C-alpha cells in the first residue's frame, strides 16, 4: 500500500534468494519480488472457504467471531490488494494455480510438491 516502503524492501527481500534456494510466501512474491523464480505457485481459495477456515482457527483459540465479519474483512483485503497500483495481487503468467477451496492440506501439499519436483527436473 506504501510504494516507498515496497521499494525500500525490494532488494532486501530479493537478497534472500541464495543457494540452495528458498520458499517465499506472499501476495506478490512471484510477480514483483522473485519474477525469475523457477517454480511459481498461486495458491487461492474462495473468500467463503478462507473465511470458514479462519473462523474455525479463531474459535479454536477460544475467540467469539462471526463469519460475516471475517468474510467482509477478507473481501476488503482482496479488493484492496488487487486494485493497488504497485504490485497488485494477481497470479504470475507462468504460475501453477491451485484453488484449494475444496481441498485438504495434504492434497494441496501433494499438488505443490509434485509441481516443484517437475520444475526442478526441467
Each residue's pLDDT tens digit, 20-73: 889 999 988 999 999 999 999 999 999 999 999 999 999 999 999 999 999 999
41: exposed, middle or buried (Cβ count in 10 Å: 0-12, 13-18, 19+)? buried
* CA–CA distance, 100 with 106 (Å, rounded to integer): 11
For the chain, the average pLDDT equals 94
Q: What's the structural domain count of the chain?
A: 1
Helix (H, G, I), strand (E, B) or coil at 85: coil
CATH number of the CATH domain containing 103: 3.40.50.300
Would the pLDDT of 4 be above 90? no
- Global pTM reads 0.85
Domain that holds residue 16: 3-121
66-69-73-76 Cα dihedral, nearest 10 degrees: 150
Q: How confident is the model at residue 115 (pLDDT cuts 50, 70, 90)?
A: very high
Amino acid at each position: 500500500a506504501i510504494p516507498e516502503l515496497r521499494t525500500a524492501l525490494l532488494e532486501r527481500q530479493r537478497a534472500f534468494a541464495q543457494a540452495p534456494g528458498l520458499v517465499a510466501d506472499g501476495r506478490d512474491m512471484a510477480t514483483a519480488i522473485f519474477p525469475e523464480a523457477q517454480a511459481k505457485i498461486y495458491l487461492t481459495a474462495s473468500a467463503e472457504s478462507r473465511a470458514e477456515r479462519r473462523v474455525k482457527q479463531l474459535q479454536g483459540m477460544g475467540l467469539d467471531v462471526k463469519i460475516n465479519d471475517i468474510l467482509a474483512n477478507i473481501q476488503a483485503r482482496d479488493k484492496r490488494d488487487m486494485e493497488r497500483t504497485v504490485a497488485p495481487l494477481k497470479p504470475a503468467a507462468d504460475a501453477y494455480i491451485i484453488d484449494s477451496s475444496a481441498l485438504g492440506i495434504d492434497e494441496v501439499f501433494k499438488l505443490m510438491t509434485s509441481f516443484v519436483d517437475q520444475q526442478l527436473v526441467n
